[in-house]
């Protein structure tokens, strides 16, 4: 298993642990974004390994409260994702304009 795959596995374990401990569910967040954010958090909290950050987050609730900034997506970031808006336009646009009737099998 290469380093990135191992990091992703540890990240998955961390997200599950945070869900079990604090009932915050970040498991469906984009992996690439979470990778970047967790590396920033590791640097900020001086953790050499993700497992070290996990230990601190699980055992120090006040640290988890501070670290929320690394998990949550700032509102402005959503507006910087062209693929998201393209998909939104293609999927929701017809409903908004009234050209697709809800429940219509042709929709």
pLDDT tens-digit readout, 11-57: 999 999 999 999 999 999 989 999 999 999 999 999 999 999 999 99
3-class SS letters over 49-86: CHHHHHHHHHHCHHHHHHHHHHHCCCHHHHCCCHHHHH
pLDDT at 106 over 60: no
Global confidence as pTM = 0.67
CA dihedral 103, 96, 25, 23 (to 10 degrees): -80
């Amino acid at each position: 298993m290469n380093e990135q795959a191992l990091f992703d596995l540890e990240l998955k374990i961390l997200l599950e642990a945070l869900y079990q401990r604090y009932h915050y569910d970040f498991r469906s967040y984009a992996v690439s974004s979470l990778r970047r954010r967790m590396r920033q958090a590791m640097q900020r909290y001086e953790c050499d390994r993700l497992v070290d950050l996990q230990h601190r987050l699980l055992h120090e609730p006040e640290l988890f409260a501070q670290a929320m900034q690394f998990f949550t997506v700032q509102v402005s970031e959503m507006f910087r994702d062209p693929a998201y808006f393209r998909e939104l336009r293609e999927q929701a646009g017809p409903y908004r304009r009234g050209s697709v009737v809800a429940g219509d099998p042709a929709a």
